[in-house]
Amino acid sequence: MRWSHHNGCGETVTVIHDLVTSQNGCGETETVTHEVVTSQNGCGETVTVTHDLVTSQNGCGETETVTHEVVTSQNGCGETVTVTHDLVTSQNGCGETVTVTHDLVTSQNGCGETVTVTRDFVTSQNGCGETVTSQNGCGETVTVTRDLVTSQNGCGETVTVTHDLVTSQNGCGETVTVTHEVVTSQNGCGETVTVTHDLVTSQNGCGETVTVTHDLVTSQNGCGETVTVTREVVTSQNGCGETVTVTHDLVTSQNSCGETVTSLDVGQGAETKRNER
């Protein structure tokens, strides 16, 4: 089906809608819906929305649904924003469900500058509170979120940010959260700075908490010189106001001539070791 509307002021909306259903006589069914909506305002601005929906059933209670959506916006001045959304849901008829969400956003400004954002979200549940990694039927859930942001300015400079978040709950009040973040910056002249941040938090539902933070910074100047800084902090709280904190710092410097300087600091103590070639 195709439908177009003009309002006499240069504005136009066009809708294309297709629906296909396939059955093989064995109880298997597949339905495909395809829809495209294009809007133009007569001033060079255009918005296009593409929506695809595929549903598959095998006659045994198993169902898979795939949604794919793309939205593109152009303002007639070279600026473009594209949003892609993918959603996959799988159910096996026994209460088990796996959901995967993927989002991608790309922005370009007509001057060579581009920003890209990627986000992935995965949730797995088996209808009994368990996840694929759980055996105890105690209402455990694992959730994984991943974010990726990339920025380029058309002059060789690039900044990339990766963010991972994993949360595990076992239905008994125990929770473990793991955050992993990596930031990489490149300036197009061979210089690179990478920052890695890890955060692990464990709570046992009784007020006790253990937090581990791990930071790693690596700097390279494109001439063989490298500086690496590692910092680790462990904090333990027992829910009664008692807290223990341990900090570990390690700095390593290499100068492309084989010379290395290492500085180690643990708590109140410090140790420096020099190894020259």
Number of domains in the chain: 2
Name the nearest CA neighbour of 83 among 100, 98, 71.
Answer: 71
Q: Which of 184, 186, 166, 185 is nearest to 176 (CA)?
A: 166
- What is the β-pairing status of strands 63-74 and 175-186? unpaired
Tokens representing residue 232 in the block: 């680790």
Which residue range forms the structural domain that includes residue 246?
A: 173-277
- How far from the centroid of its chain's Cα atoms is residue 71's Cα? 20
Q: What pTM was computed for the model?
A: 0.58
Position 137 scores a pLDDT of 42
Any idea which of 53-62, 86-95, 137-146, 267-276 has the lowest mean pLDDT? 267-276
pLDDT of residue 212: 87
User: pLDDT tier at 171 (50, 70, 90 boundaries)?
Assistant: low
CA-to-CA distance for 80 and 78, rounded, in angstroms? 6
Q: What is the pLDDT of residues 35-61, one digit of tens each?
A: 888 888 877 888 898 988 888 888 777
Residue 101 has a CB neighbour count (10 Å cut-off) of: 16
Where a domain ends, among 49, 77, 105?
77
Contact 66, 87 (CB under 8 A): yes
Q: Which residues pair with 259 in a beta bridge?
A: none
The mean pLDDT value for 205-220 works out to: 85
Q: Is residue 60 part of a domain?
A: yes
pLDDT of residue 139: 58
Cα separation of the two ends of the chain: 76
What pLDDT is recorded for position 141? 66
Sorted by sequence, the CB contacts under 8 Å of residue 268 that are 6+ apart come out as: none
Nearest to 149 by CA among 116, 113, 109, 182: 116
Q: How far apart are CA 140 and CA 175, in angstroms?
A: 10
Residue 73 lies in a domain: yes
Tell me the pLDDT tens digit for each residue of 123-168: 766 554 433 333 334 456 667 777 877 887 777 788 888 888 887 7
* pLDDT > 90 in the chain, percent: 0
Report yes or no on 26 lying in a domain.
yes
Alpha-carbon span 193 to 190, nearest angstrom: 10
Q: Is residue 127 assigned to a domain?
A: no
DSSP-assigned states of every residue in 200-221: EEEE-SSS-EEEEEEEEEEEE-
In a domain, 177, yes or no: yes
The residue from 43, 77, 111 where one domain ends is 77
* Residue 136 domain flag: no
In a domain, residue 140? The reply is no
144 occurs within a structural domain: no
* Domain termination residue (choose one: 77, 100, 135): 77
CA distance 96 to 92: 6
